[in-house]
Amino acid sequence: MKLTGWYRSRSLRSRMAMLTAAAMAVAIALAAFACWFVVRDRLYDQVRDSLGGGPPNVVNPQQRYVSCDPTAQAALDRAVAANAVDDRRFPGGFDKWDVQLITADTVCFPLSSTRIIKTTAADLAVLGTHGYSYRDGEYANGEPAMVRRSAVTMNVDGVTGQYVQLVAASTESVQTSLRELAFVLMGVAALGVVGAGFTGRLVARSALKPVDRLTDVVEHIARTEEVGATIPVHGSDEIARLSTSFNSMSTALLNSRERQTRLIADAGHELRTPLTSLRTNVDLLIRSDDTGRPLPAATRAKLLGNMKAQMQELTLLIGDLLQLSRPDSARPPQALAVVALHEIADRALERARLRGPGLVFNVAVHPWYVHGDAAALERAVINLLDNAVKYSPPGGAVDVSLLDGRLSVRDHGPGIPSDELQYVFDRFWRSPSSRQLPGSGLGLSIVAQTVRDTGGEVSLGPAADGGPGALATVRLPGQADPPH
């Protein structure tokens, strides 16, 4: 646990360097181990090949070339003594091997023998078998050797019988070479681990350089709160994707801040007008009371009526701001339901008739059911109708139709200039020609947001027949039949 905590407390660069170094160290160690084992097997294979290349019976069948005794040391002593007075050697010479014959109770040596091969109980098990086998063994003095065992038939001291022939070759030089190789490989592995550490550090530094740039930018934004900073993107790897995502996020934050700043500025501007008017009227009422010269009843009633209208305007403006304060937040699931859009249109028309007395409403509304927020949709339809009522001339007509999910509202007012159509759904935007009319410029923004949340489309433009007025069109997905 402590080791894990220590590892996690390290920097990403250090952890990457350690992982890289560890991976390289493991690879070097595995390569060194594999090299040592391969060389060991090859060297021992060479010893076996040298033993396997000898004749099957390296002992001359003539008795005078063999010294036998129940004990190995006595037999060897006799062979050495005989060799001192008889320098004849075996045909072909066998100086590179050490040879001895054994039975259960006898050991025989050639005259050229000088060393005893230690025997095991398993050696006698090869009597009566064919071929030969190998084992790791040693001489009497402890020197390591490779031993070849085979069953042979020999005539020794005039007696023909089966013996186990042991042929041995020293492996001391092999083991010495392996020890030296092990030290060399350990040194190379140690240097490799050190080199792997430096290499891992370089790899981590190079690989994390884009992350360092990203970190610098993030820290700069956190320190200065200057959103919108970006970093250069190179390639298409994971770091490049991260950089691209960061740039997109930074740009989105910048746009969000700009929209927020613009919203606050526009809201402050719109709120300033009714608040200034309210303050003026309140000051006028207070001054009249302080001076002892009360205002005429008609003037006072007018001032109070203006104050009430201004407060209503403030209330509507604050409600619109609250509606737009969370433009990107999802609606709670409980607020969404199947809504009868034609019934919403009928209720909105009743309110529009009260606000536009004298106007003629041409209505053709057919059933249409949508899935959305009933309160938000009703507010959107009311805003469309209020907009039509506001710009309709006295005694004018407002055409309202709902067919196959297409709700259209057309007035016969002055219309909207073509160069201003692109701004009609912006917050607080109002046409220069209509700024003397009441309103905050948020109604159509609320309509556009509600329609988008419901999965529909909204547009505003000139009348389709080329006549006066403007035509607002809303398309919402749904169905004509009530759901079951």
pLDDT value at residue 34: 92
CA neighbor of 150 nearest in space, from 69, 248, 231, 55: 55
The pLDDT of residue 179 is: 92
Predicted pLDDT of residue 126 = 87
Angle at CA of residue 171, ends 168 and 177, nearest 5°: 165
- In the chain, the domains with their CATH numbers are 2-51+176-207 (no CATH), 54-172 (no CATH), 226-325 (1.10.287), 333-475 (3.30.565.10)
| 270 vs 253: CA distance, rounded Å | 25
pLDDT at 93: 42
Strand partners, 110: 66
Rounded Cα gap, residues 241 and 351, in angstroms:
53
8 Å CB contact between 383 and 450: no
List of residues 6+ apart from 294 with CB closer than 8 A: 288, 300
- How much is the pLDDT for 329? 47
In order along its 484 residues, the chain shows pLDDT tens digits of 455 555 555 667 777 777 777 888 888 888 888 999 999 999 988 888 888 755 455 544 444 457 788 888 888 888 777 766 554 444 434 456 788 888 888 888 877 778 899 988 888 888 888 888 889 999 988 899 999 998 888 777 677 788 888 888 888 989 999 999 999 988 888 888 888 778 777 877 777 777 777 777 777 777 777 777 777 777 777 777 877 887 888 788 787 777 677 666 656 655 665 677 778 878 877 887 778 777 787 877 877 777 776 776 677 667 666 666 655 444 555 467 888 888 988 988 888 887 778 888 898 989 999 998 888 888 888 888 888 888 888 888 888 999 888 999 988 888 777 777 777 777 665 655 555 455 556 677 778 888 888 888 888 888 877 778 888 889 999 888 887 6
According to the model, what pLDDT value does residue 431 have?
Answer: 59
| First-to-final CA distance of the chain | 60
Amino acid symbol at 211:
V
Residue 406 in contact with residue 469, Cβ under 8 Å? no
Give pTM, 2 decimals: 0.47
Q: In angstroms, rounded to a whole number, what is the distance separating the alpha carbons of residues 127 and 164?
A: 6
State residue 100's pLDDT score.
87
pLDDT score of 108: 86
Residue 224 contacts residue 40 (beta carbons within 8 Å): no
Q: What is the pLDDT of residue 336?
A: 77
- 419-460 pLDDT, tens digit per residue, is 777 777 776 656 555 554 555 566 777 788 888 888 888 888
**CA–CA distance, 467 with 428 (Å, rounded to integer):** 27
- Cα separation of 416 and 126, whole Å? 113
Contacts 24+ apart (CB under 8 A), 444-448: 444/383, 444/387, 445/324, 446/320, 446/323, 446/324, 446/379, 446/380, 446/383, 447/380, 447/383, 447/384, 447/472, 447/474
Q: Cα(478)–Cα(455) distance, rounded to whole angstroms?
A: 10
